[in-house]
A and B are shown apart, each in its own frame.
Chain A
Amino acid sequence: MAPILDIKNLYKSYGATEILKDINVAIEPGDFLVLVGPSGCGKSTLLNCIAGLEPISGGSIDIGGQDMTDVSPKDRNIAMVFQSYALYPTMTVAKNITFGMKVRGVDQATQAAKLAEVSAQLQIEPLLNRRPGQLSGGQRQRVAMGRALVRDPKLFLFDEPLSNLDAKLRVEMRTEIKKLHQNLGASMVYVTHDQIEAMTLATKIVVMKDGIIQQIGTPSEIYNHPENLFVADFMGSPAMNLIPARTQKKDGGTQIEIASATGKPLLLTDTTHRNLPDDVIIGLRPEDIAEAGYRSGQNVQTAHCMIDVVEPAGADTFVVSHLGGKEVTARLHAETTACAGQPLEFAFDLGKVSYFEPNTGERLN
């Protein structure tokens, strides 16, 4: 299948500052692409470039197999949902939704039919005669989605659409967007700084930092095989534990030596033979560190660690310990007997470990 969106060698700069550097992304029809990164990483600018709201300095953008690089937004066959919803404040909900059709000269009957269809789909019929000012945040969000849906575009663009909602509503709307994507089978590009949104919604994630793509992959690739320290640290909550360590080739695998608060280094053996430099940073997700006896596998190693803090979170209990000069978080089962100030035997699942080069931050395994 031809990609629905194909961005090649895209550059964007304001004066001398480069905002986006050599962006290459392509998605298939039906994909849900999430652009994620900290604020100022260029993700919203990239979305605006896709929409044609910002001119680009180099490269090309194809949408639906056509070169859209210099085409104005209205002819790109896209629809966009904005962070502030950008509802036209003086128009009713109905007018907001039909404004685009009116501008394009769609006849009244079609407008009415489309409006009815979309408002039924989003359950906003009772709101049609209200002004945006009279709506709650969630309702505004729906109207903004309606304005996009009515367009029936090749590509939906979302610019942090959930960031203005409260936590509960955000989760609800997230599910709703996911359902919408599944029902429509539409192609979507979605910008967020929230890595959980990225994980739950995406079929494909682009992690960005300082205008450079750090990694492109499925949620599972991004989560389990982060390409560098930045991605490892940014994706996942609580964040991946990144612990400085020394490695040494050994019979039966790789020995990992981690400095510990007690002065006696912690020694673990990764049973896989690897070619690693002496100094590395090892990455382990909190869920890959369990209480001894609760995790088994051929590459699981146990060791005693002093516990600093215990944070019960209902379904799990997080415990914080100190290793290699860093705080290390482990996600234990809810009924753990772990106790602050006491040692506990941990099980480290080294089958899931990531190794990073300390200076470049690149993944080594």
Chain B
Amino acid sequence: MTDQAFPTAPRRSRNVPLSKIALRWGLYLILCVFALYYLMPLFVMLTTSLKSIEEIRSGSLVALPRDITFDAWATAWSGACTGIQCEGLRPYFWNSVLIAVPAVILSTGIGALNGYVVAQWRFRGANLFFSLMLFGCFIPFQVVLLPMARVLGLMGIAGTIPGLIFVHVIYGIGFTTLFFRNYYVSIPSELVKAAKVDGAGFFRILWSIFLPLSLPIIVVTVIWQFTQIWNDFLFGVSFSQAGTQPVTVALNNIVNSTTGIKEYNVDMAAAIIAALPTLLVYVVAGKYFIRGLTAGSVKG
């Protein structure tokens, strides 16, 4: 910060009173304190994960590691116990990938189709349907857990990865439809009319005119859905069984497994591993992540 402010300081001091500069610095100071507050847990997680268990016992929570060791990461990835099994997070991490990828693709695709219809091909009842869907976005999922467990059983996909994909797709289409609908209503309806006169049909118009325009909203939706599904715990813990659990469930099991001594460094490494994909998405495409968050909430 000093480096940044330094070159401009002389220019400022000429016409800006000292009190204003002090206020400015105070402002930056407060903002930095807030930044430290938000960063502290991540910092603690990271340093703890790089310490040995002896150092954690003897040292301070906020101290930097004296000897950096990646043992905890290795254990978290492939050796930590989630109950009776001790294979680390790895298999569950892949479970999450296997759940998230198809569920994101399917729910985004369905959302695009639905949004396109609701926004551009209004028919009698389309608005009612959209409202019903929107209300569906807001139900607490507890209210569908019991019947869903039974229905998954009836369908023969209880406790399987396809079962979890199915659940995530069903309860994802409300939001994905909302995203695409809000994006497509801002496209003038004359475009569809022009294409109809040109002889194009429903799918042709979607494919040639709307999809090429949709990259931003596809990114927003994919990021939103990926974050939601990757971070999901409720469906994961309710509808999985040993071997098909997603990474969040496995993480919770590692942290709360009562066997052996408490390895905080492993817990933290595991937490970071579980958080890494969504954090990465956030760092790479934060703009779209924020847009999804605000679109999902403000324009409800």
A residues at B contact (CB < 8 Å): 48, 51-53, 72-74, 78-80, 82-84, 86-91, 99-100, 103-104, 147, 159
16 A-B residue pairs with CB within 8 Å: A51-B193, A51-B197, A52-B196, A53-B197, A73-B193, A78-B197, A82-B190, A82-B193, A84-B190, A88-B191, A88-B195, A88-B209, A99-B208, A100-B200, A103-B198, A103-B199
Are A103 and B193 also in contact (CB < 8 A) when A74-B199, A90-B212 are?
no
Distance in angstroms from A163 CB to nearest chain B CB is 13
- Whether the Cβ atoms of A99 and B200 lie closer than 8 Å is yes
- Whether the Cβ atoms of B200 and A103 lie closer than 8 Å is yes
- Whether the Cβ atoms of B193 and A86 lie closer than 8 Å is yes
Distance in angstroms from B1 CB to nearest chain A CB is 40
- Whether the Cβ atoms of B196 and A73 lie closer than 8 Å is yes
**Nearest 3 A-B pairs (CB), nearest first?**
A100-B198, A74-B199, A90-B212
Asked if B213 lies at the interface with its beta carbon under 8 angstroms from chain A, I say yes
Asked if B188 lies at the interface with its beta carbon under 8 angstroms from chain A, I say yes
Q: Which residues of B contact A103 (CB under 8 A)?
A: 198-200, 204
Cα A90 to Cα B190 in complex, Å, equals 15
- Whether the Cβ atoms of B198 and A74 lie closer than 8 Å is yes
Asked if B194 lies at the interface with its beta carbon under 8 angstroms from chain A, I say yes
- Whether the Cβ atoms of B199 and A104 lie closer than 8 Å is yes
- Whether the Cβ atoms of B193 and A80 lie closer than 8 Å is yes
Q: Which residues of A contact B208 (CB under 8 A)?
A: 88, 91, 99
Distance in angstroms from A213 CB to nearest chain B CB is 24
What DSSP secondary structure best describes chain B's contact surface? helix
- The tally of residues in B whose CB lies under 8 Å from a CB in A reads 16
Residue of B nearest to A88 (CB): B209
Are A53 and B193 also in contact (CB < 8 A) when A100-B198, A103-B204, A104-B199 are?
yes
Residue of A nearest to B199 (CB): A74
Most buried by A among B196, B197, B208, B209: B197
Q: Given contacts A82-B190, A83-B190, list 7 more A-B pairs with CB under 8 A.
A: A51-B197, A72-B196, A73-B193, A74-B196, A74-B197, A90-B209, A91-B212
Distance in angstroms from B23 CB to nearest chain A CB is 44
Are A80 and B194 also in contact (CB < 8 A) when A99-B208, A103-B204 are?
yes
Cα A89 to Cα B192 in complex, Å, equals 12
Residue of B nearest to A80 (CB): B197
Cα A310 to Cα B198 in complex, Å, equals 52
Distance in angstroms from A157 CB to nearest chain B CB is 8
Cα A84 to Cα B194 in complex, Å, equals 11
Distance in angstroms from B275 CB to nearest chain A CB is 37
Q: Which residues of B contact A52 (CB under 8 A)?
A: 196
- Whether the Cβ atoms of B197 and A79 lie closer than 8 Å is yes
Are A84 and B188 also in contact (CB < 8 A) when A53-B196, A90-B209 are?
yes
Cα A147 to Cα B212 in complex, Å, equals 20
Residue of B nearest to A53 (CB): B193
Q: Which residues of B contact A89 (CB under 8 A)?
A: 213
Cα A102 to Cα B204 in complex, Å, equals 11
- Whether the Cβ atoms of A86 and B212 lie closer than 8 Å is no
Q: Which residues of A contact B188 (CB under 8 A)?
A: 84, 86
- Whether the Cβ atoms of A48 and B196 lie closer than 8 Å is no
Q: Which residues of B contact A53 (CB under 8 A)?
A: 193, 196-197
- Whether the Cβ atoms of A99 and B196 lie closer than 8 Å is no
Distance in angstroms from B192 CB to nearest chain A CB is 8
Distance in angstroms from B120 CB to nearest chain A CB is 12
Tell which of A82, A90, A104 touches B194, judged by Cβ atoms closer than 8 Å. Answer: A82
Residue of B nearest to A159 (CB): B190
Q: Which residues of A contact B212 (CB under 8 A)?
A: 90-91
Cα A82 to Cα B194 in complex, Å, equals 8
- Whether the Cβ atoms of A100 and B193 lie closer than 8 Å is no
Distance in angstroms from B48 CB to nearest chain A CB is 49
Q: Which residues of B contact A80 (CB under 8 A)?
A: 193-194, 197
Distance in angstroms from A70 CB to nearest chain B CB is 15
Q: Which residues of A contact B198 (CB under 8 A)?
A: 74, 99-100, 103, 147
Cα A89 to Cα B195 in complex, Å, equals 12
Residue of A nearest to B215 (CB): A90
Cα A266 to Cα B212 in complex, Å, equals 69
Residue of B nearest to A89 (CB): B213
Distance in angstroms from A161 CB to nearest chain B CB is 11
Residue of A nearest to B193 (CB): A53
Residue of B nearest to A54 (CB): B193
Distance in angstroms from A306 CB to nearest chain B CB is 51
Are A100 and B190 also in contact (CB < 8 A) when A88-B209, A89-B213 are?
no
Distance in angstroms from B195 CB to nearest chain A CB is 7
Residue of B nearest to A95 (CB): B208
Most buried by A among B191, B194, B209: B194
Q: Which residues of B contact A147 (CB under 8 A)?
A: 194, 198
Give chain B interface residues in 151-209, CB to chain A under 8 Å.
Answer: 188, 190-191, 193-200, 204, 208-209
Q: Which residues of A contact B213 (CB under 8 A)?
A: 89-90
Q: Which residues of A contact B190 (CB under 8 A)?
A: 82-84, 86, 159
- Whether the Cβ atoms of A48 and B193 lie closer than 8 Å is yes
Most buried by A among B191, B196, B199, B208: B199
Most buried by B among A51, A83, A89, A91: A89
Cα A116 to Cα B188 in complex, Å, equals 29
Distance in angstroms from A291 CB to nearest chain B CB is 49
Distance in angstroms from A285 CB to nearest chain B CB is 37
Residues 192-236 of chain B: 1 if any A CB is under 8 Å from the residue's CB, otherwise 0?
011111111000100011001100000000000000000000000
Q: Which residues of B contact A73 (CB under 8 A)?
A: 193, 196-197
Q: Which residues of B contact A90 (CB under 8 A)?
A: 209, 212-213
Distance in angstroms from B126 CB to nearest chain A CB is 14
Are A86 and B191 also in contact (CB < 8 A) when A99-B208, A103-B204 are?
yes
Cα A86 to Cα B188 in complex, Å, equals 8
Distance in angstroms from B127 CB to nearest chain A CB is 13
- Whether the Cβ atoms of A100 and B199 lie closer than 8 Å is yes
Cα A233 to Cα B195 in complex, Å, equals 38
Cα A78 to Cα B209 in complex, Å, equals 21
